[in-house]
């Protein structure tokens, strides 16, 4: 099945397909894909009027503090404050404007604020781990957050996920959602992480790793990391496969 070769056609964001640069639906080392991978050929669902006219950003547009995860509670969260910023671009380097960018992540101890996450790490009462913002006319976005910690998971013996932040991007409708993960440079856990390794092209994997940005770093307050997201073409950011 071929997708339309543009990052947005009639309101639907479409990632560039490449069997080595994009993760497969089934990657046996990533145990979860053994259950989620589709067992029948994929079909294209017909687009309905709600795909175009439905709510774009839910009931409310992003608020003043939605992109600053360190100011959403009464106290300051624990951990290293960081700035995560970059641009959302199409395959020709043009900005993708007014796109909803959402993030979610573990706290500095490597724990999500979710009932399913029960591993023995503290919950930070001043950190919810979720934010959102809109790209500006230059395709630019910016978040203030806390560097997440690594955490154990039960994929294989002594499995740990590298520190990462989940990114979700929308076009003009919820149906157009694309999801990826941003990692940090020099993480020692890359080699044993099947989610990261499911992108089999080394250059493509590097496109999921942010770069330290001294210019974005705030003296005595926060380290800066840049993460540009490219929606198509030879420099496309790898995106996660939707769950079946």
| Residues taking part in catalysis | 112, 151, 161, 164, 166
DSSP H stretches of helix in 24-179: 32-36, 49-53
Are 77 and 107 spatial neighbours (Cβ–Cβ below 8 Å)? yes
Q: How far is CA 220 from CA 4, 7, 84, 225, in A?
A: 46, 39, 16, 15
- Rounded Cα distance between 229 and 88, Å, is 5
And the tokens for 149? 């910690």
What is the DSSP secondary structure assignment for residue 117, as one 8-state letter? -
Are 12 and 238 spatial neighbours (Cβ–Cβ below 8 Å)? no
């Amino acid at each position: 099945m071929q997708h339309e070769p543009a990052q947005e056609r009639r309101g639907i964001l479409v990632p560039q397909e490449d069997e080595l640069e994009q993760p497969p639906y089934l990657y046996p080392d990533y145990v979860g894909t053994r259950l989620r991978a589709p067992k029948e050929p994929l079909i294209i669902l017909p687009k309905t009027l709600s795909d175009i006219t439905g709510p774009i950003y839910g009931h409310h547009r992003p608020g003043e503090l939605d992109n600053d995860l360190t100011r959403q509670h009464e106290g300051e969260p624990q951990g290293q404050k960081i700035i995560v910023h970059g641009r959302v671009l199409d395959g020709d380097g043009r900005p993708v404007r007014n796109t909803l960018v959402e993030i979610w992540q573990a706290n500095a101890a490597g724990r999500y604020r979710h009932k399913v996450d029960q591993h023995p790490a503290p919950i930070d009462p001043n950190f919810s781990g979720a934010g959102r913002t809109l790209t500006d006319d230059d395709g630019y976005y910016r978040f203030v957050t806390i560097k997440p910690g690594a955490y154990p998971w039960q994929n294989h013996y002594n499995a740990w996920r590298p520190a990462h932040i989940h990114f979700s991007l929308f076009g003009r409708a919820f149906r157009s959602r694309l999801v990826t993960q941003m990692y940090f440079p020099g993480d020692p856990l890359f080699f044993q992480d099947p989610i990261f390794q499911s992108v089999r092209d080394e250059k493509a994997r590097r496109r999921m790793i942010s770069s330290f940005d001294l210019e974005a770093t705030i003296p005595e307050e926060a380290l800066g990391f840049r993460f540009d997201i490219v929606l198509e073409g030879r420099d496309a950011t790898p995106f996660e496969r939707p769950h079946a």
